[in-house]
Amino acid sequence: MKSKSETLVLKLSGSLFFSEDFQSVVKAIINALSKNPDLKIVVIAGGGAKAREYIKIATNSGADQATLDEIGIMVSRINAMILAVTLGEYSQARVPETLGTLVDNLKTTRAVVMGGLHPGQSTNAVGAIIAEKVRAGRFINATDVDGVYTKDPRKFKDARIIDKLTTKELEKVMGEESMQAGAYDLMDPVALKLVERSRIDTWIIECTPKVIESALLGKRVGGTEIVFS
């Protein structure tokens, strides 16, 4: 997908919003915007552990999957509102709930912060569809791991990080990714199909201040890049 702007899309792990790194990541985003005056950023906030807690409670109460998704979306929008407020003058006052509102906001501000959009759609997929919509130069998926590994590095000591891979190869690494509410992790099948159909330049990186700032300024520090043959 050809870039027509200096707009980047950044998906932030929901775990960030309850961590010690939150303020530092906000500073990293502001630093990137300050260093590149042509840069615009759309940030998508994940729901994280807090969303999963609410989803668990609602599941035990008999809620259906669509309702569980809606709960996750609400939590991600609260996270987005907190981030928008913290970014101050760089961001919009309210969190957009549609692509149309996002596009309008992007005309007048340099950072637009969003949460989820629709049931059945992860915030990873939201990031990919937004990257399509705004013809972003890159989709940066900042996660709670530092890239894609050959196997789960939390379980296997011989796991190796993969520098570059295709969407098909990533599908094989992921295996059967769950589509249950709150279960989306690295990338889900819907997000991957969106990335593939528009050939979106995509980086999967660690959700830490230094790595995020470098990525926003065009330098990948570690992580994994999705490539197209």
* pLDDT tier for residue 2 given thresholds of 50, 70 and 90: very low
Please report the pLDDT score of residue 180 as a whole number.
Answer: 47
Query: What span, in angstroms and rounded, lies between the C-alpha atoms of 160 and 27?
Result: 31
Say yes or no to pLDDT of 141 above 60: yes
* pLDDT tier for residue 42 given thresholds of 50, 70 and 90: very high
The mean of the pLDDT values for the chain is: 90
Give the CA angle between residues 165, 166, 170 to the nearest 5°.
Answer: 80
Structure tokens at 166: 């295709």
Please report the pLDDT score of residue 185 as a whole number.
Answer: 60
Structure tokens at 125: 């997929």
Please report the pLDDT score of residue 174 as a whole number.
Answer: 78
Query: What architecture is the 7-226 domain classified under in CATH?
Result: 3-Layer(aba) Sandwich (3.40)
pTM: 0.91
Question: What is the average pLDDT across 201-209?
Answer: 96
Say yes or no to pLDDT of 50 above 80: yes
Say yes or no to pLDDT of 5 above 90: no
Does residue 173 or residue 213 have the better pLDDT?
Answer: 213
The half-sphere exposure of 32 on its side-chain side, counting CA atoms within 13 A, is 27
Say yes or no to pLDDT of 152 above 90: no
Percent of the chain with pLDDT over 90: 77
Question: What is the average pLDDT across 89-104?
Answer: 94
Say yes or no to pLDDT of 37 above 90: yes
Strands 224-226 and 202-206: antiparallel
Sign of the dihedral through C-alpha 156, 184, 176, 228: negative
The half-sphere exposure of 27 on its side-chain side, counting CA atoms within 13 A, is 8
Could you report the per-residue pLDDT of 97-106, keeping only the tens digit for each?
999 999 999 9
CB 127 within 8 A of CB 141: yes
